[in-house]
Amino acid sequence: MSTLFPTRETTADPRTDADWTGRRAFETNLRALVGRAYPRVRGMGREPSWVFFEILLPFLGTSAFVLVYRALQAPEAYVGFVVLGGAMSAFWLNVVWMMAGQLYWEKSQGNLELYFAAPMSLMAVLLGMAVGGLIMSGTRSLAILLISMAVFGVQFHLTDWALAVPVFLLTMSALYGLGMMLASLFLLWGREAFHLTNLAIEPVYFISGLNFPVARLGALGAVAIATVPFAVGLDAMRQLAFPGMPGLAGTPPPQIEALILVVMTVVFLVASQRLIRIIERMARSRGSLSIRWQ
Partner 1 sequence: MTAPAPAASGHPAFDGNGFDPARAEGAGLADTRRHLWTAIRLGWQVESNWTDPLLFFIYTVAKPVASLLLLVFMVQIVGGTGAAGEAIRTFVVLGSALWAMLMAGIAGPAWSVLDDRERYRMLKYLYVSPATFLLVLVGRGVSKLAVGAMGTIVALLFAVVVLGLRVDLAAVNWPMLALTLLLGLPPILALGVGLAAICLQTRQESWSYPEAFAGALFLVSGVVFPLSILPAPVQVIGLINPVTWWVAGVRGAILPSGSSSIGGAGSLWASVTRTLVPDGATTIAVLLLTGTVSTLAAIVLFRVSERRARERGLLDLTTGS
Q: Name the residues that contact partner 1, by CB under 8 A.
A: 39-40, 43, 46-47, 49-50, 53-54, 56-58, 60-65, 67-75, 78, 93, 97-98, 105-106, 108-109, 111, 190-192, 195, 198-199, 201-203, 205-206, 210-213, 216-217, 247, 293
Nearer to partner 1, 128 or 254 (CB): 128
Cα(24)–Cα(1) distance, rounded to whole angstroms? 18
Nearer to partner 1, 25 or 41 (CB): 41
Nearer to partner 1, 11 or 198 (CB): 198
CB 134 within 8 A of CB 180: no
What's the length of the chain? Answer: 294
CB 174 within 8 A of CB 266: no
C-beta of 210: minimal distance to partner 1 in Å?
7
Number of C-beta neighbours around residue 259 at 10 A: 13
Hey, is 58 helix, strand or coil? Answer: helix
C-beta of 89: minimal distance to partner 1 in Å?
10
Nearer to partner 1, 58 or 177 (CB): 58
C-beta of 286: minimal distance to partner 1 in Å?
19
Residue among 102, 65, 108 at smallest CA distance from 202: 65
The DSSP 8-state label assigned to residue 21 in this structure reads: -
C-beta of 187: minimal distance to partner 1 in Å?
14
C-beta of 264: minimal distance to partner 1 in Å?
22
Nearer to partner 1, 78 or 230 (CB): 78
Residues 6+ apart with CB under 8 A from 59: 86, 143, 144, 147, 148
Nearer to partner 1, 129 or 260 (CB): 129
CB 237 within 8 A of CB 88: yes
C-beta of 232: minimal distance to partner 1 in Å?
18
Nearest-10 Cα torsion for 290, 183, 129, 46 = 80
Number of C-beta neighbours around residue 146 at 10 A: 12
